[in-house]
Amino acid sequence: MKINPFFLLLFAFCTTVFTACKNEEPEPDSPSLTLEFDNRVGAQKLVLGTTPYKNDFGEEFSVTTLNYFISNVSLKKTDGTVTKFPDQYFLIRQADSETWEPKLKNVPEGDYSEVSFMVGVDSLKSASPAGERTGVLDPSKYKEDNMYWGWNSGYIFFKFEGTSPVVPANGAGLRPFQYHVGGFGGYSSKAPNNIRTVTLPLNGTATVRKSISPTIHFVVNLQKFFNSTTALKLQDTKSVHDPSVAAPLANNYVNMFTVDHIHND
């Protein structure tokens, strides 16, 4: 039977388009890729407790706590293929250096040019049964550094605390500020959704091979938390815990992340 050449060309075209556009599934035992989060204030390395910093408004502050969740990472290859990692969740804690370089497992070999990730915990996982929320998502492991609201039944996506001389003193004579951002959209009715996604070009190529497990080095600049899409002054706003008013904070902290460089080791 003679086959019309037109149909052969059409089949080849469709196959090419499907291959380029499909989302790849990670293969078991594939290489890994490290996501390194380097927290800073401007050009200064972030040190908890004593180091004084200044924001763009000249307000001096010290940082006592900086924690945030990273999840739903995806990587785009140079050919446009996207690989998603929906079940890998990371909690970055400035107080624990072992959390600064989480490892993304089972990354297919390839050349990657773009990275995307969520700051926070997605609604599906947030609303899942407690038995399915293990590892860094297990609220029982947080102890005094709590990243889960019992009163609000949800994760704190981003926690930033410290002290500043421009903040009014409390009853103990201390001048603390606290910013806790959460809100995944609600269980059965609409609620504030402060989940945000960061998408960044790598400005190069992350080369993943069986013998190469690269590192993407992110700089996370706290200066942009105070002055990005919304100006946030410590003297005006010393505390945020309510998800319904936290959207401006979430809109600011997505701009804290940049790719500094890549190690293809």
For residue 15, pLDDT beyond 90: no
Q: Convert the pLDDT of each residue in 209-230 to its tens digit.
A: 999 999 999 999 999 999 999 9
- Enter the tokens of residue 265: 């080791």
Strand residue runs (E) in the chain: 23-24, 33-41, 44-45, 53-54, 60-77, 82-85, 90-93, 103-104, 110-119, 148-149, 154-163, 176-182, 196-208, 215-221, 239-240, 257-263
For residue 150, pLDDT beyond 50: yes
Q: Convert the pLDDT of each residue in 83-115 to its tens digit.
A: 999 999 999 999 999 999 999 999 999 999 999
* Averaged pLDDT for residues 164-169: 96
